[in-house]
Every structure is written in structure tokens, then in C-alpha cells.
Structure 1
Amino acid sequence: MRSKLTIVALMLVTTFIGFGIIIPVLPQAVSDLDPERANLHTGFMLALYSLVSFLLSPVWGRLSGRVGRRPVIMIGVLGFCASFLLFGLAVDNLALMYVSRLLGGLFSGAVTSCIVAYVADITTNEQRTKGMAVVGMSIGLGFTFGPFVGGELSQISLAAPFYAAAGLALLTFIAGWLKLAESLTPERRAAIAVQPRTSRWTAFQGSLKNLYVLAFFVTFSLAILEATMQLYGMHRFDATPRNVGYMFFFCGLVGALIQGGVVRRRVKQGQETAYIAAGLVISAAGFFLLLTAHSVVAATVYLCIFGIGNSLIRPCVTSLITQKTTVEQGVASGLSSSMDSLGRIVGPLLGSVLLGAYAQLPFLVSGALSLAALGLLARFRSADRAQAKAEA
């Protein structure tokens, strides 16, 4: 199991480095072409990516159960490569930027949802939280180095980060092709193939409904942050893409350390909800503190506080869903990825509108949502206990 986890962790790191590269660069690239509507274009591009991912993640999840996780993951990584290459060629063409984001969304679900299902395949319930912590840590490391690399390469040109992301995705594809083993046996795939087609929403049942909505809230607030931080920083303290790259670098580094050092080592089965609650409170504190930021240094510190909270929440929620679900892991992971995408559809759009109305509104709303999610967590715990008693 350890060698398989190492391989998928490396794939996630390199994939999300490519994804994170665009965070500090996209707002600047759009601003150069249409400065008056830069916030709207940024929001629409991020939302388009996530809308396509939302629609197709369950399709990829079902397909991976029938043909295997490995080929679907490989297709997704190669598609990522093509989307980044197109964006690099399109930095002076707004329409092609939109096409590139559409392609990225098309293939993103094939990577994220199928790797989560892959990890669920190779871990037991007792190992699940540790496995998902590795997933979260890998994504966190990708987001740590991605914005940093994007900010640095933007000094060469705005296209350079996207060419680098395409090259990295291609290397990831080659490494995965050579090293990634299939997690589903032919017998298991055959058994899944004869099962009736299952809607993603069959996983949205019982106590887990609350966790899926909580996951949406968490991603929604994160997407608002990603869509508005660069423009907010430009407005408040003249932040450059390089500044924002460093800010997300430190945020991601702290998050990866928390997931690798706290979640993976400390969180035991049954303790997940306590860590989720702590994460929600810490995330809310980070959002509210960002309202007071008047320098890059202060904003970086507050962003790191948010990162600590977020890194406690995500792997624990994913672990609980994969432990408690009664449907096939590909379907459950597909719905998780869809809720993630749904948050990334609505978040950038609303964030752009809120930013246009009042610069601090995105962070006020995100902090309030983090606290509101505590109610969903309480409902999950209550429903889960009642369900356990009924089954006893």
C-alpha cells in the first residue's frame, strides 16, 4: 500500500503544482486584456472550469469503476497537459482562455475523484484517514509550490507559467504510465460493470448529506478566496502576482505540514469530527483577520491561519465520507468531487460580485459560512449516532 500511496501522492503534487501556477497569474493576464471587467472574467473562467468538472466528475468516477482507475487517471493528466498548453498560447486571446479553462474542467474530475477512489480502494477503514491525509498533503504541497512557481515564472512572461505547467503534467503522465498500478482487480471491475448505473445522488443520503453540504461550504469559501485574493491585494496593498505567489506558498506549506504532521499522525478513527470543528473555527478566524490586512506580510500570516484550519477539515471530511458511504467508492468520490466543483462554480462568481460591491465582503461572507458549517457538523454527528443506535 505504501508504494502505491507514494506514487499517487507524487502525481497529485505535480498535478496541483500545475493547477496552483495559475492562481497569481490569471487575474493579471485577464486585467491586461480587459481591465474594467477583470474581476468578472476571472470569476467566470474559474466557474466555467468547475461547472464542467461538476457535470463530468461522476461520469469519470463510474467509468473508472468499470475500466479501472489507472486509465482514467492517465487520460485526465494528459488532458490537463493540453489545457495548460492552450492557455499558454492564448494569453493574448480572451476567447481561447475560456476554451482552455473548459478543457481543464473536462479532465480535472478524471484526476481528483479517481485518485480519491484509488486511495479508498487500497486502504482499510482504519487506514482511511491517514490515506486521505496523504491526498490532502499532496494537494497542499502542489498548492504550496504552484503559486510560488507561477509568481516567479511570471517575471519571464505571463505565458511561461502555463508552458511549465504543461511540461510538468506531461512528465506526470509519463511517470504514471510507467509506475502506477491498477487498484481494482479484473474481478472487481467485472462486478462493478454489471451493477445498474448509479446516480451520483444515491450517495447523498442519511447522515452523509450534512457532510457533503459542509464540503460544499468549505470549497465555496476557498474558491471565493482564490478568485479574489489577487484583486483584493492589488486594491489594498498593491500586491503583484509574485507577492500572491509567495502568500499562497506559505499558506500551502503550513497546510501541508498540518496534514502530514497532525492529521496523518494524530487523528484516529472516530476523532475526525472534533478536528473538523476546530478547523472551521480557525478558518473563520483567518477570513476575519484578512479584513484588517494592509500589507503583504500581514495578509500572508492571516492566510496561513486560514490554511491551518482548511488543512484540518478536508482530509477528515473525505475520510468520513469514504468510511460511511454505502455506495461504490467511485460513485461516492464522484459526488465529493462534484460538490467540490459546485463550490468552485458558485464561489468565484459570487466572490467577484461581492468584491465589486465592497472589497471586504468576500471574506466576511466566507468567515460567516465557516461558522455556519458548524451547524451541519452537529447535525451529522446527531444523525450518525441515531443511525448507529438503530443498526445496533
Structure 2
Amino acid sequence: MTNPGRLERQRLPAAPRLGAWQLAWLAAAVFVVSAGYGALMPLLPAWLAPLMTDDGQAEVARHVGLLSGLYAAGVLVGAPLWGLVSDRWGRGRILMIGLVGYVASLLPLLRADWVGIAGIYALRGATGFFVAAVVPVVPALVAEHTPQSQRARRFAWLGAMSLLGFLFGPGLNAAAAQMAGALAGVGDGTLDPTDLVIVMSAALGALMMLGLAATLPRVPPAALEDDSQPASADRRRAMALWGLNGVVMFVLSGFELGIVLQGQQHPTLSSREISLMFAECSLVMLGVNALLFFTGLLERAAGRGVMAAGLVLAIAGLAMLAQHRSDAWMYIGVSFTAAGTGLVLPTISYLAAGASRRRLGATMGGLAAAAGVGQTLGSAATGWLFGAVAQLSFAWLALPLLATLGSLIVRPAWWAIEGQPSRSPRASSEPLPK
């Protein structure tokens, strides 16, 4: 006998596909919150210094560290919560709430002297909490409104926009300084570049609200529910991906901190060269995202194989960094590690997009939370490791990746996308849609 509930689920309307402009606005929202983080972090000392009294410099440094941790804690708490709520209330609504909260948490910083230390702490925590409504919901929206044949390229595009935002953020400070000088030249007074950065960040967030409000697909959450995948299998796969994401972010944050700490081990390594290595890391990861976008690699190769290749590259890079005796080898090690992690992270997001649509927000929120935990623990562990074994810390960082590589080999079912329609031979012979 036919199961009526199953037939009813089969009749549920498919989610409408995203158009080019809708995708552009979603990618721009990711870009804006990433740029806002990179632009506002250097401003923390400027907000805090006038509020400090005795031993100002040491106190400012302590508060900057605590504020950075509070922002990360906001993301860590908010991401799984907003992702879960978006599965029930609708993703567009949660995304708009996140952007409204993001803008509202920035504007009071124009008068940091009024809100005081406690207010700055509350606002930075709130900013992280509301940014967490953007981080998991945008990829969930893209996943549920994108056919599988286009999903890999779109996720590579989102990853590239996030990296570009981090790179653009410090440039926003330079643009604000130039703008303040230009405005001072034609006016009577002077404008604080710090205020301009806040205003520009908030204005970009408001622009994203308007663009998304006009373009987001309006689909009731009930129309997107399906039970095509067993809940237990979907949950196991999600937990495996969360663990992998946390491990890779643990290693990536430790690797980046290790680059900074190399200056203490190698006196010839200047701050300029360390900055170049960070730029190299970002550009290599951006190049890998471009490779995934233009080649459609994830649509042609098994995700498990792509991740295994990325892990091997990252392990090789960390091994070079642990043994290098010249700056040239260090640059090569940085490139290998960045390329390897740059392959793995978008693949994780792509595989997570294969979750059941009614659990997609929770899955993406779990990824963001796992990344936050990994980053926090990675920075703390690497700081301790460098104090104990110095340069060999890079070799210790490779061990979690080796263990993960082993899980890819012995547990292939964890990394497969199940419940997705298979492509027909005719469809597979057609060119991939852009």
C-alpha cells in the first residue's frame, strides 16, 4: 500500500532557484560582515584609550584581547541558535534580523565615551551574536535554493567573498583616513576616521538589508520540509562535518599564530615579512576558491577525495614549516598549508549543504560554532606549544590532520551526500550552468 505521507511530501513544491541578483546580494552580505570585522578590530584601542586611567597601555591590550574573545563567543552562541531557528521561522526573516542587529550594534560606538567600557563589551558581544545570524543562514539559503549541479561553484563563490571581505576590511580604514583628510580640506572642522569607518560599516549593512528585503525568495518554511533522508544518518554526517571543520580551524588558527611567533625564533624574520606571509595565505586560499569556482571540481570529483588531497597538502606544508631553515622554505610551507586548508573548508560546506532542508540551518550553524571552538582552542594550544617546543609546534599541529585523514579512509559513508537526485547520463554530458 502506498504511504500517503510520502506521496504528500513528494508533492511539496520545490524551492525556487536563486537568480543572479539574489545570489549577488547574499554574497555581498557575507562580504560586508567579514569586512566589518577586519575594519573594526584595529579601532578597539582608539575606543578604549580615552577610557583608561592608570597603566593605560597594558590595560588597553588586556581589554582588546577580551573584546576579541567576546565577539567570538557571540558568534559561537549565536550561530547554532540562529541556524536552528531559521529552520522553523524561515531563513530570510532571520537574515534580516541579523543585519538589523549588526547595524544597531555598531552605531552606538560613535559615542564610545557615552556607552563606557561595559557598553563597548555589550556591543561587541551583540555584534558577534547578530553576525552569527548571517554566517550560517546565507549558505543555508544558497543550498536550499540551488540545484546540486550548481551548488559547488556557488559555495566557492561565497568562500571567496568572505576572504575578500577580510582583505578589504583594513583597506576601509585607509579609505576613511583619506576621506577624512579630503573632507577636512573643504570644510571648517575635522572628522574622526574612526567614526567614518563605523558609519561606512553600518551604511553597508543597511544597504544589504534593503537589497535583500527586495530580492530574497519568499517561501514558507513548511513548503521546504522533507524527510528524504533518515534523521539519524543526517545527524551522524553533520556531526562528522562539524568535527572536521573544528579540527581544520584549530590547525588553521594555530598555523597563523605560529607565523607570528616565528619572529621570536628567527630574528631575521621582520614584521614586514610576517605580513607578507599572511597576505600570501589569504591570496592562496582565495586562488583555491577561484579554482573550485571556475573548474567545478566538486561537481566532478568525490568530496572525500578532494578533502584527502587538501589534508595531504596541509600536512606537507606543516612538515616544511617544522623543519625549515630558510625563509624561502617557510614561504613554500605557508603556501602548501593555505592551499590544503583552502581546499578542505569549502568542501566541508558543500557536503553540509546536502543535509535535509529542514535541518539545513542547524547544520550550517553547527559548522560555524565548530569553527569558533576550533579557532579559540587552536590559538590557546599553539601559544602553549611554541613556549614548549618552538618551531616543532607545526609538526604537532599536523597530527590532528593525520587523524582526520585516517577517518576519511576508514569511514567513507560519513562524507557522502545522500538523498540527492542522481544526474542522468544526458545531464552529465551537458555543460555545467554558470
TM-score by length of 1: 0.76
Mapping 1:1-392, distance limit 5 Å: 1-21=19-39, 33-34=57-58, 46-81=68-103, 99=122, 101-146=124-169, 166-180=198-212, 181=214, 183=216, 185-186=218-219, 188-190=220-222, 205-233=235-263, 236-237=266-267, 239-240=270-271, 244-269=274-299, 270-291=301-322, 299-325=330-356, 327-360=358-391, 362-383=393-414
- 1 CA distance for matches of 2:415 and 2:308? 16
Shift of 1:150: 6.6
Q: Secondary structure at the match of 1:136?
A: helix
Shift of 1:110: 0.9
Q: Which residue of 1 aligns with 2:431?
A: none
8 Å Cα contact 2:95/2:133 also seen in 1: yes
8 Å Cα contact 1:33/1:94 also seen in 2: no
* Structure with the larger RCO, 1 or 2 (CA within 8 Å, 6+ apart): 1
Deviations 1:349-382 (A, max 9, x none): 2233333434435533322222222123224414
Q: Secondary structure at the match of 1:128?
A: helix
CA 1:373–1:83: 2 relative to 1, 3 Å: farther
CA 1:274–1:21: 2 relative to 1, 3 Å: farther
- 2 CA distance for matches of 1:164 and 1:244? 29
TM-score by length of 2: 0.69
Equivalent AA in structure 1 for residue 57 of structure 2: L
CA 1:326–1:114: 2 relative to 1, 3 Å: closer
CA 1:175–1:243: 2 relative to 1, 3 Å: farther
Equivalent AA in structure 1 for residue 201 of structure 2: A
Q: Which residue of 1 aligns with 2:184?
A: none
8 Å Cα contact 1:210/1:376 also seen in 2: no
Shift of 1:307: 2.0
Q: Percent identity?
A: 26
Q: Secondary structure at the match of 1:57?
A: helix
8 Å Cα contact 1:277/1:374 also seen in 2: yes
Q: Which residue of 1 aligns with 2:52?
A: none
8 Å Cα contact 1:122/1:183 also seen in 2: no
Equivalent AA in structure 2 for residue 33 of structure 1: Q
8 Å Cα contact 2:75/2:128 also seen in 1: yes
- 1 CA distance for matches of 2:42 and 2:320? 21
8 Å Cα contact 1:12/1:138 also seen in 2: yes
- 2 CA distance for matches of 1:283 and 1:48? 30
- 1 CA distance for matches of 2:237 and 2:413? 8
- 2 CA distance for matches of 1:294 and 1:96? 48
CA 1:191–1:49: 2 relative to 1, 3 Å: same
8 Å Cα contact 1:19/1:165 also seen in 2: no
How many residue pairs get aligned? The number is 374
Shift of 1:145: 3.4
Q: Secondary structure at the match of 1:213?
A: helix
- 1 CA distance for matches of 2:417 and 2:140? 27
Aligned CA-pair RMSD: 4.3
> Which stretches in structure 1 are left out of the alignment for 5+ residues?
196-200
CA 1:184–1:310: 2 relative to 1, 3 Å: same
8 Å Cα contact 1:21/1:146 also seen in 2: yes
Q: Compare CA radii of gyration and give the structure with the larger one.
A: 2
Equivalent AA in structure 2 for residue 133 of structure 1: A
Shift of 1:141: 1.7
Report which stretch shifted further, 207-216 or 111-120: 207-216
> Which stretches in structure 2 are left out of the alignment for 5+ residues?
1-18, 50-54, 181-191, 420-434
8 Å Cα contact 1:53/1:105 also seen in 2: yes
Q: Secondary structure at the match of 2:235?
A: coil
- 2 CA distance for matches of 1:90 and 1:239? 35
